[in-house]
Every structure is written in structure tokens, then in C-alpha cells.
């Protein structure tokens, strides 16, 4: 659901967009830190916020890091 948000911010289209790994952080909702494969050798780390269910909002891309590899650790940012 956040692929269009990422593509818009990066001004590019991703043929591959596969989540490889994720972590969560509970706040007033949930922060998801997600490692995503965007090409054969390129990865990005996404920070996605999902608000509480009663707020009726979809996931929101709050931040991302590009230039990652499959082996880079997925950490808070």
C-alpha cells in the first residue's frame, strides 16, 4: 500500500517491490520498519506508520533510506 508513496517521493517506478524483513514498534499506532527489495541488487528501508483502527487511516510512509543491501541491518531511523 505504500509503494505509490515511495515511488512518488523518489520520482521513479519500481518493477520489484518485495518486503524481505520487518520489525515493529508500538506507539500510538504501529511503526513498521521494512526492508524492501526494489531491484536485483538494490534495497530500501521504509518506516511506515499505521494509526489505530478507530482513526480509519491507511498506512503512511514516514521515512525511507535508499542505497541499502540485503545484508544491511534493519534499525530504527
Task: Return the closest-CA partner of residue 38 out of 61, 2, 6, 14.
Answer: 14
DSSP 64: E
What sign does the CA torsion over 39, 33, 48, 45 have?
Answer: negative
By the 10 Å C-beta count (0-12 exposed, 13-18 middle, 19+ buried), 14 is classed as middle
CA–CA dist 77, 65 (Å, integer): 9
* Domain segments of the chain as ranges: 1-68
- Grid cell at residue 35: 526492508
pTM of the model: 0.89
Per residue of the chain (77 residues), give pLDDT as tens.
Answer: 899 999 999 999 999 999 999 999 999 899 999 999 999 899 999 999 999 888 888 899 999 999 999 999 998 88
Amino acid at each position: 500500500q505504500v509503494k505509490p508513496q515511495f515511488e512518488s517521493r523518489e520520482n521513479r517506478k519500481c518493477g520489484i517491490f518485495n518486503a524481505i524483513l520487518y520489525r515493529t514498534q508500538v506507539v500510538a499506532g504501529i511503526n513498521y520498519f521494512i526492508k524492501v527489495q526494489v531491484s536485483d541488487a538494490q534495497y530500501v528501508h521504509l518506516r511506515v506508520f499505521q494509526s489505530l483502527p478507530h482513526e480509519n487511516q491507511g498506512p503512511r510512509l514516514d521515512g525511507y533510506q535508499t542505497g541499502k543491501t540485503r545484508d544491511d541491518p534493519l534499525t530504527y531511523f
